[in-house]
Amino acid sequence: MQTHEIRKRFLDHYVKNGHTEVASASLLLDDPNLLFVNAGMVPFVPYFLGQQSAPYSRATSIQKCVRTLDIEEVGITTRHNTFFQMAGNFSFGDYFKREAITFAWTLLTGAQDDGGFGFDPERLWATVYLDDDEAFGIWRDEVGLPAERIQRRGMTDNYWSMGIPGPCGPCSEIFYDRGPAYGSEGGPEADEDRYIEIWNLVFMQNERGEGTSKDDYEILGPLPRKNIDTGMGVERVAFLLQGVENVYETDLLRPVIDRAEELTGRRYGSDAASDVRFRVIADHARTAAMLILDGVNPGNDGRGYVLRRLLRRIVRSARLLGADQPTMRAFMDTVRVAMAPSYPQLETDYDRVRNVAVGEEAAFLGTLASGSKLFEDVARQTRSQGSARIGGADAFTLHDTYGFPIDLTLEMAAEAGLEVDREGFGALMAEQRARAKADAQARKHAHADLTVYRELVDGHPTEFTGFDELNTEATVLALVRDGVRVPTAVAGEEVEVILDRSPLYAEAGGQIADAGVITADGTRLTVNDVQKIAKKLWVHKVSVDRGQVTEGDAVLAQVDSSWRHGATQGHSGTHMVHGALRQVLGPNAVQAGSLNKPGYLRFDFHWQGGLSETTRQEIEDVSNAAVGADHTVNTIETSLDAAKEMGAMALFGENYGDEVRVVEIGGPFSMELCGGTHVAHSSQIGPITVLGESSVGSGVRRIEAFVGTESMKHMARERALLQGVATLLKVPSEDVPGRVENLIDRLKVAEREVEKAKSASLAAAAGPIAESAERVGDVLLVAAKAPGGGGGNELRALAGDVRGRLGDAASVVVLFGDDGGKVPFVVATSGAARDAGLKAGDLVKAFAPAIGGRGGGKPDLAQGAGTDPGGVEAAVAALRAELTDR
């Protein structure tokens, strides 16, 4: 049975039993505790926490999930995936244990011809919590599962919570017995490789307190309503129903392994190490594709860093398997074919997904090339120290600082006849993981308590009137201060005001909140911010300037019209820039985020590589042409499916409702899902001036621009600046670029002449400096100040020249410079001196403290700088003492 069919049967079963089918949420949710959605119940958390009332009493979904705590363990076992699909059914105060158990049993054991999965009931086991006699009795007496196939387990295994204060409860897990060939008899308690968990039924009935592990928290009491949360692992059910050994051999992952075999010439199943690499490629390729699909881009922290690690592990694994050419395009092609039947957006957005992955591969291949050179330096230094073992610290630096994988370090070390201190490397990695874990735990906290808003969300959602008017009569529904309802607020206080109607735009979609006031007889409130709760309730954060405001008051909410005009210009201008980008660069230049406010816009978009000045100018020209065309700005409220059929663009990672608002400007030029405020005609945006374009992460670029009056002010400032430069240069404005270019060329010529003169002066000084050599012990020492000061480059050249003039003698050359109050220095040793045990880097340690400096380098050449020019004589004395005492 194919995975897509398993998904369909699951959903059909629960819809037939009165559940509302809910589409998978994005992998990215606004939750402070989650990097990615990691369980099927996550999108329903507000309902379980009581922050909002569920719009349905029963729901079912197949949620895409990502768990990345142990990325480096992926592939070592065949049970773990970073991306997986969790099929679930949920009850919000409706049914409880009996129905949850019987629904699951019916689907699992129902005949395939009747829409079930057709599992042999004789091979199914169940576990329940230690004292959950109710669940035990349902399994034994109502389902008919023999008591010997129902096992009781403790809190660690069979009691669920989110890891933070909130709902919790016992659970019942369902296991499938794969048979004696896979392990020991005795049920899940004995062997969870033989007995595979396929479903977890959580009976959410209590509230837990603080705690740090799975079994050390206090049960505070029962929840007001009992809920059901279940999760069936789609991939695990798939490998059992498809008769293969593990999830990596199912229809969704095996094709990637097959493609990797073709590209590397190796065969899956040939040896354990290769099999791990094949599984890493299969798992990570799918996960990476799904993360990119939901708007993640490679980066150096957070979600972007996780994606970067996944993509680089694919490249690394393919290389270790023998691939000598880029492979990412082929792997992404294979993932698209396998996953698109369940996730059609992967087909429509595939070019973007592929380009991000391929771009990261290209960047990492460059890293590998530079890392190889760094490895060669480490290997050379290791041998020079008489060792055949690369230190753990060196291996860790290659891995952590330069992104050079430890597997490749090991491979290259073996080829070079060297070993690697794996224990030292492992200890440093363990320290890093411990720091990361502690940081994550420190940032993990209970969900914000929004219960004060629940009654308001459920009963009185705010009506937004700001699309049609700037002044609205309204009623104060509630006042909230520090999470508590208050009856009134007086002058000098700050409070949150919830109105039944409001024209003030709440921050969303990159548009910041409106400025404005709320007034009544003798009362004036300045609106500092407006935010949404549950996308339904407008919360106005205000300062009470005069009078007082009381719950139930009739008030007038007013938008600052000047502010709104500028905000609409900024937001509509963002749509113009997006449309221009797609026209100039093509359909892959899609939005990755935005910010707009009066007179200004910032637009992030997916694109590999910087834009030329010509391209930036073309984007500005196309944007302004659309502004000048005076297009009517049309808004259409329709269904999400209808909007997609119209070709409306959506923001990746955003969760849209069934009903959406489409903003269309110039027909196909710009058509986007957008809830923001806009001008009526494109000409009202005014001129758009692109300020610049830059990188904000791998595969993401940023354009900033002024619009309207701010654009004109900017152009006036630029014109005044140009006129000022023209006046200084005594040329017409149009001749300024040529005149400046001429001056730059002349300056470069002058700088080259100065450098030549300085080099000649230093070269001339090399002879007299070499003649100043003194014998200290059995070594010739030259310790001198460079004539004319000089920086590091000049000192290195001069030190090398002086060392060469001393011939084959054991010699040490130390030169001090003068660079704006700092004391740069260079130490050079001859071959004979190094044979005698003198290393430039070690000598630095002897004299650098005297000038308040430090430095280092290789045995033949070291350099650094100090901060105390007056300490040079003491430094030379320390150096003499070091050479004398050796």
In order, the DSSP letters of 366-394 are HHHHHHHHHHHHHHHHHHHTT-SEE-HHH
3-state secondary structure of 515: coil
Residue 308 identity: R
Q: Which residues are annotated as a binding site?
A: 571, 575, 674, 678
Helices (H), 772-835: 792-805, 831-835
Q: Does domain 3-249 have CATH number 3.30.930.10?
A: yes
Give dist(CA 470, CA 448) in Å, integer. Answer: 32
Residue 647: alpha-carbon gap to chain centroid: 28
Q: Per the annotation, where are the binding residues for Zn(2+)?
A: 571, 575, 674, 678
Torsion on CA atoms 230, 231, 234, 238, rounded to nearest 10: -70
- CA 319, CA 331: separation in Å to the nearest integer? 14
CA atoms within 13 A on the CB side of 884: 7
790 strand-pairing partners: 818
Cα–Cα distance for residue pair 266/366, rounded to 1 Å: 24
Rounded to the nearest 5°, which phi and psi values hold at 490? -120, 170
pLDDT along the chain (886 residues), means of 10: 96 97 88 80 84 88 88 79 95 95 97 96 96 96 96 93 84 96 93 94 91 80 90 95 94 96 94 93 96 86 86 90 94 96 92 90 81 81 84 82 72 81 85 64 49 74 93 94 90 94 92 94 95 87 95 95 94 95 88 89 87 94 95 92 82 67 92 92 95 82 93 92 91 90 92 79 82 90 81 80 90 88 90 90 91 87 90 92 84
327, 317 Cβ separation under 8 angstroms: no
Beta carbons of 184 and 190 less than 8 angstroms apart: yes
Tokens representing residue 253 in the block: 């992952």
- From residue 187, alpha-carbon distances to 78, 174, 212, 246, 355 in Å are 20, 11, 29, 19, 47
Given 1.10.760.10, 2.102.10.10, 2.40.30.130, 3.30.70.260, which CATH number is that of 451-559? Answer: 2.40.30.130
CB of 424 within 8 A of CB of 391? yes
**Res 179: pLDDT:** 94
Q: Are 527 and 504 in contact (CB under 8 A)?
A: yes
pLDDT at residue 32 in the model: 60
The CA-to-CA distance between both ends of the chain, in Å, stands at 79
Angle at 512 between CA 510 and CA 513, to 5 degrees: 140
Task: Tell the CATH superfamily of the 564-717 domain.
Answer: Threonyl-trna Synthetase; Chain A, domain 2 (3.30.980.10)
- How many whole angstroms separate alpha carbon 624 and alpha carbon 685? 9
Which residues touch 126 (CB under 8 Å, ≥6 apart)?
139, 145, 149, 150, 151, 172, 173, 174, 175
For residue 74, what are its two tokens?
Answer: 């992926």
What is the rounded distance in angstroms from the CA atom of residue 11 to the CA atom of residue 21? 7
The position carrying tokens 């695990």 is 236
Domain boundaries, the chain: 3-249, 255-443, 451-559, 564-717, 768-885
Would you say 575 and 670 are in contact if contact means Cβ atoms under 8 Å apart? yes
pTM for the predicted model, two decimal places: 0.66
CATH for the 768-885 domain, from 3.10.310.40, 3.30.70.920, 3.90.950.20, 3.40.50.970: 3.10.310.40
* Cα 134 from chain centre: 44
Nearest Cα residue to 173 out of 241, 232, 228: 232
Q: Helices in 610-676 by DSSP H: which ranges?
A: 613-628, 640-646
